[in-house]
Every structure is written in C-alpha cells, then in structure tokens.
Amino acid sequence: MSERLYTDVLVIGSGPGGATTAALLAENGFEVMLVEEGKHISIDDTPSYSLEEMGEKYRAGGLNSSFGATNVTMIEGRCVGGGSEVNAALYHRPKESQLDSWRREFNIAGFELSEIEPFFENVESELSVSKRPNTVGPSSLAISKGAKKCGWSSGEIERFWKYDKGEEATGGRRQSMTETMIPRFLKKGGRLLTGVRLERIKSRGGVATSAVGRRVGSGGKISIGFNVVFVCCGAIQTPLLLRRSGLRNVGDTLQMHPMIRFAARFPTEINDPKYGVPVVQIDEFKPAMTLGGSYSSLPHLALWLGHSVPDREEKLESWRQMAVFYVAVVSEGRGSIRHLPVVGEPLVRFPVSGEDMGALGLGVKRMGEALFEAGATELYHPNTGAPINDPRGLLELGEGLDRKGAAVSTIHLFSSCQMGERDDCPVDSWGALKGKVNVYVNDASILPTSPGVNPQGTIMAIVRRNVAHFLENRISRKRG
C-alpha cells in the first residue's frame, strides 16, 4: 500500500532555498508541506566538521564525485537545513556588474539592482549577517599579514552569525536554517516530513498533480498530491528529480567553483579551533580567484597534509602549528547531470579544464607567497604532499597543477536550471518551470552563472524575490 498525503503547496528540499520558500509561504497563510530526504538534526547534535557530522548531514558522507579527466569531490548537505547546517556561513553580495550581466545575457525581467537590493537587505537583517565583534583568530591574522606584505587587498567576510552583546568573538551561533527559517515555518503550522526521498513528479498535460517516492530506510512508497510544487533540492538533485519526471532540458549547464586545499606549517601556534573557519580572504584576485583558510581540525590536517610528508606523524603531534588553506576559482566549464536507473543516483560529469588547473596552481603559488610572508616555514604540495621550504619552490606550481593526483573539490554548485526568458532557460525570470503551470524551481540551480563568491546569500535573496512575485500574482488573481 502506498501512503497518500495531500497539501496545497509542496516544497521539496529544506536547504536555504526550500526552507526560505516554505517559511515565507506559511507566513502568508498557505498550507505548506516541506519534504526532506535527510534527518532533522540541530547544529548542537554533532560536533562541527567531525566524521559524525559528515555521516549524518552530508550526502554520501561528503564523498560524491563528478566524472571527467579530473574528478571533483562534491560536498552536498543531506539534512534539514541542507548546506546551511555544515558550511562556513560566509556571506557575500555579488557585484552589481555581475547582476547586470545576468539580467542582460539571460533576459531576466525585474532584475534591476533597485528591485533586488531589498531582498539582500532582508537576508542580512533576518539572519544576523555580521562580522566578529573582536579579534578574528590567528589563521585569519596570518592571511591578512601575508596579503599586506604582498601588497594585496584582503578583508574579513561577514557571516550568517549571531553574537550576543558582550560575548567573546569565539562565541555566537551559526544562523543556519534549523535556527532561523525552519522554526518560523513550524511556528506557522507548516508540516515538516523528513526521511522521504521524492523521485518523480506526475503530471496531466501541463499541470503537475503529485510527487511520488519512498521512505528512506523502510522503502515504503509515498505519494503527495498538491496544487503547487516548489522544487528546491539543490543544483544536483533538482535537475535529477526533473529529469526523472520526464524533462530533458535541465541538467546540462551545471557550474561549480573548483577548489584545492593544502596545509602549511608555522614556527608558532597558528591553529586555534575555537575560532572555526578563518573569516579573512584575499580580495585582490576576486571574482576569478578566492584565497582563504579552511577548517583545520586534526582530522582535516591529516587529510590535507598528504601521506608522503616526511615525519608525518611527528608533525601532526604539533598540529596547532599547522593550518589548512584553499584556492577556489571560477570555472568556465559546464557539467551535466543524468539519472542512472539501476543505482538511482546521478551521473555527474564536469570538465575541469587545463585552464582551471592552471588557475588553481597559480592560486596555490599566490597563497603560498602570502603565507611565507606571514611567517610560514613549510607548505605541503597539494598534489604530492612534498614539503616546500621557500618561495622558490612555488614557481613550478604557478605553471599549473597536474591533473593526476590533484584533490579537487567543491562546496559551491549552481546553474543547472538557469533562470531567464532566453529560449534555452528551463525556468523563467521568477523560477516558474516553463511548460508547467504550477511547478517552480527556487534554489542554487536557477543562478544563471557563477556569482564569483560564496552563493548562499545570492540564492536566498533571489528566492525571496521569487516568492514575493508568486504572492503578488496570487493576490492579483484573487482581485481579478
């Protein structure tokens, strides 16, 4: 027997896009059901960046990979709140020139800065976007020092983070979806259904009628009828669900920010875990390239240090003298997402190009120069783990990284269902799926191209804009 449910509005996926969509609709009087494949886990239930957290909150434990000449490890959230529960909560607005470029290139209506800016302001106010009230921590200070000595600009990045008055800089609380939009949704009577994987949307002609899938674990079948559905499963899972539902014009324009991480050693303690992820980035080469610091717990250091480092175990004993740093670049690549019927998981292809590997190598060289200027005594090659003891050892890296052995990863995925009025855009300027009268997409997949920065703030602002337009249309119909 299949379990049958019904709701006015169905929202599939509870990450920043889905949680925001569900909360705003519930607050405007709609009956909303929010469905999530993963578990409902608070930010206190698992230690941040731990193996336990990876197992509970990441899809496939964080080990999903794209296919290509260079595979990319893709980090996706799989829990209530999605990626907002596990990321660094860094917040950026994209440059005005980027928004204007999207508007012109993709023919997006209602996308002037004056029309979008209020939604960025909503995000910043309601999710307590702020800087640390006091110091930024030793790793961040090292990045600032190195950038200054190299003559490069750098700055502290704001975060979705709430600090109480008088609280130490190391305190405060991440303003993830389980801390913000999910409680708002539940307070207004929204129904949250977890452990349910919806695999296909059924339609009659141009009208979607229900979503079908199964209970995770038991495998029990479930069908949810609706009047309107918002698909908010993320840049991989959204096009996968739509392709399973018979659409073929989605999942051909996936974009990402390829990233390389590596470790560096200092003569004094540089690593203080109570500060979490470093909040300073080198701005000099943005948006094409971002240089910054990563979380540097002992397990993360062991991972990014590599196995060929001499005296590896001895070095790890003094792990507070080491930290992990990264380079992320904007790629011109376009990936694809396809459904694998037998295993039920997506086949993701992404062409990491020679230009991408060249940019990543140049980024490691630049970051390395800044770290040596900040006092680092040893860096570890991102391909081999071999120690580099002075800036001259960085010259070869500046020519590019070898595809073989390069541990390329990404935490930023987007643009697999691009928005706009252009014929090749699967959704319109407001996230409505073309060819269907009651299906909307409202997550990272609708970003036209790379925003050049951490995309979460941009996603949430556009999601709010699209929900506001949906509500305006509903009010207009009632009046008519």
Residues of the chain with pLDDT > 90, as a percent, come to 75
Kindly tell me if the per-residue pLDDT of 375 is higher than 80: yes
Contacts of 331 (CB under 8 A, 6+ apart): 255, 256, 257, 258, 352, 353, 356, 450
Condensed to tens digits (0 to 9), the pLDDT of residues 188-231 reads: 999 999 999 999 999 998 999 999 999 998 889 999 999 999 99
If you search the block for the tokens 């990543």, which residue do you land on?
360
- The pLDDT, as a whole number, for residue 44 is 86
Kindly tell me if the per-residue pLDDT of 283 is higher than 70: yes
Write down the catalytic residue from 300, 307, 412, 469. 412
Going by pLDDT thresholds of 50, 70 and 90, the confidence category of residue 14 is very high
If you search the block for the tokens 């080469």, which residue do you land on?
285
Lowest-confidence segment of 201-205, 215-219, 240-244, 355-359 by average pLDDT:
215-219
CB 319 within 8 A of CB 301: yes
- The pLDDT, as a whole number, for residue 168 is 56
All domains of the chain in start order, with CATH:
3-40+79-127+175-254+411-479 (3.50.50.60), 136-165+258-331+346-410 (3.30.410)
The number of beta carbons lying within 10 Å of the beta carbon of residue 172 is 18
Average pLDDT over residues 243-272: 95
Kindly tell me if the per-residue pLDDT of 306 is higher than 90: no
Going by pLDDT thresholds of 50, 70 and 90, the confidence category of residue 408 is very high
Q: Is 92 a catalytic residue?
A: no
Average pLDDT over residues 47-67: 82
In terms of Cα–Cα distance, which of 129, 131, 127, 130 is closest to 180? 127
Write down the mean pLDDT value for the chain.
Answer: 92
Condensed to tens digits (0 to 9), the pLDDT of residues 428-439 reads: 999 999 999 999
Lowest-confidence segment of 233-242, 304-313, 358-367 by average pLDDT:
304-313
Alpha-carbon distances of 318 from 3, 248, 301, rounded to whole Å: 55, 53, 11
Beta-ladder partners of 225: 6, 210
Task: Quote the CA–CA distance of 213 and 221 in Å, as a whole number.
Answer: 6
